[in-house]
Amino acid sequence: MPYPVVHVLFFVFCINAVAVYVTVRSLFRRELSFRGSMNLLLLLSVGSLCALLPDIMIVYNLPVNGTIEHCWIGAVPTHSLLFSFPAILFGIIAGYAIYRKVSKALYLGLFAEAAFLSHLLLDDISEGGCEYFYPIYNRTISIFSMMDVSFRGTGLFHYLTVSFVSVFFICAVIMMALFALSKYGFEFKYRPEK
Ligand SMILES: [Zn+2]
């Protein structure tokens, strides 16, 4: 189990890398406005909290039961897409409370989801999988182990499908964050060559 600080750092510097790059560049150019700083602070706060949300039960289990069991709330695994709904909801409510705009709220909800999923990806790498699709599929799945499939044993079609699905899942998490960040002013742009 990676420690909380690793989850936050992974989200901020890997999934959120565009915002880090744009912020550093803007600071050197003295372009970062007060509004931009507030946007960044909000994104980092919501993102960091949601990147830690799957391990929320440790806050209860450690002082109350004296254990570091943290992956379940009753029968529901916290490391699942189902449990990401509270993260989306938190992002939407926080966004609406601050900006009073539905579009901004939805993009912050999307950003919160990307942060939550970054936690699952990191746990997937270190622990060998998560119950992503509970309750449709109750077993642990490892996106990264899926990439290790060989077409000799399973056939070319299975090999291509698994390769595409596993890479696309990771790509989708990064794209969610990029899309949400662009709506808050943090983006790269294509610059035509002269
Ligand atoms: Zn975890």
**Local structure of residue 132 (DSSP, 8 states):** T
pLDDT reading at 30 higher than 90: no
How much is the pTM? 0.90
2: CA distance to ligand 1 center in Å? 7
Proportion of the chain in helix, strand, coil states, percent, rounded to 5: 70, 5, 25
146: CA distance to ligand 1 center in Å? 20
Domain ranges of the chain: 4-183
105: CA distance to ligand 1 center in Å? 26
For the segment 171-181, what is each residue's pLDDT rounded down to a tens digit?
A: 999 999 999 99
For range 87-110, the mean pLDDT: 96
121: CA distance to ligand 1 center in Å? 9
60 token code pair: 């209860």
Distance of CA 53 to the CA centre of its chain: 10
Look at residues 43, 39, 41, 54 and name the one whose alpha carbon lies nearest to residue 7: 54
55 token code pair: 């391990």
40: CA distance to ligand 1 center in Å? 25
169: CA distance to ligand 1 center in Å? 18
At residue 67, the pLDDT reads: 75
What does the radius of gyration of the chain's CA atoms come to, in whole angstroms?
Answer: 18
For range 71-85, the mean pLDDT: 90
7: CA distance to ligand 1 center in Å? 8
At residue 163, the pLDDT reads: 86
pLDDT reading at 1 higher than 70: no
Mean pLDDT of the chain: 90
